[in-house]
Structure 1
Amino acid sequence: MLQTEFSFVLPKGYIDDNGVLQTDGTMRLATAMDEIAPLRDPRVRNNEAYLVVILLSQVITRLGTLPRVTPAMVERFFAGDIAYLQDFYRQINDADARVEQAVCPNCGHEFDVEFPLLGEL
């Protein structure tokens, strides 16, 4: 069965409106629409960097005890947490490259070789 939600722990954490530090959360796999829809948002049209704010607010399904994550909340995340979440997003959404085992013909050393997916350089 395909895993579609993944748990994470923020390195710094988000301080909610009640002063409670929220650190653990869940992120779901992104859909094509998750990546397309923010491009229509005027905030993204005015500032492309805002794309990550919208995108993360869509794919984070849980953060601590909070009922939902909004763009306004993501705006208040610490920069280190944003960097962590962007990396986490890439990890769970990027297709894995094919890895094959190879043997050096000269010394017999075994090692893994990663073959890029179609379309990658």
Structure 2
Amino acid sequence: MLTQTEFEFTLPQGYVDSEGTIHRDGVMRLSTAYDEITPLQDPRVQRNPGYLVIILLSRVITRLGSLDTINPRLIEGLFSADLAYLQDLYQRINQAGHTRLRVACPHCDGEFEVEATPVGESSATPQNASLRR
């Protein structure tokens, strides 16, 4: 079984570049230990620990629309809703390890796993599925 290492997403608002183009669709990869350790040496993070998320996201977002480069300056320019969305996505794919849920069909009681994808992400989320505890 292959482990998924990249996750597509769609930002709620979208990054607006200097020419007015909105970039919403992107890809985030799983983080590595190096991704999480290296920013701790950055003076911006040492002055303001809240800046850690900016550096982390600039390292793990591999694509955003048609932009050539993802860097901290770009992440600083995101709308608050997009930053919150990306922080949540980062946490879910890196801390939880996956976004799979065990569900039961309400009609036949058959159990199976589905990929749960919140609004704004690209995979389809099953409708009317109930969790079995």
**Distance (Å, rounded) in 1 between the aligned partners of 2:19 and 2:55:** 23
CA apart distance, 1:95: 3.6
- Which portions of structure 1, spanning 4 or more consecutive aligned residues, are displaced by more than 2 angstroms? none
The aligned length equals 101
CA distance in 2, matches of 1:58, 1:96: 18
Residue of structure 1 in register with 2:16 after alignment: 15
* Mapping for residues 72-111 of structure 1, pairs under 5 Å: 72-96=73-97, 111=132
Q: How far apart, CA to CA, are the structure 1 residues paired with 2:26 and 2:88?
A: 15
TM-superposed deviation, 1:67: 1.3
* Equivalent position amino acid for 1:68 in 2: T
| Larger of the two Rg values belongs to structure | 1
CA displacement 1:39-87 (0-9 Å, x = unmatched): 0000000101100000000000000001121100100101111100000
| 2-structure distance, mates of 1:17, 1:2 | 37
Indicate the SS of the match to 1:67. Answer: coil
Distance across 1 between alignment mates of 2:84 and 2:52: 14
What TM-score, normalized by structure 2, do the two folds share? 0.72
Question: TM-score, normalised to structure 1's length?
Answer: 0.78
User: Matched residues in 1 for 2:47 and 2:86: separation?
Assistant: 23
CA-based RMSD of the aligned residues comes to 1.8
What residue ranges of structure 1 are gaps of 5+ in the alignment? 101-110, 113-121
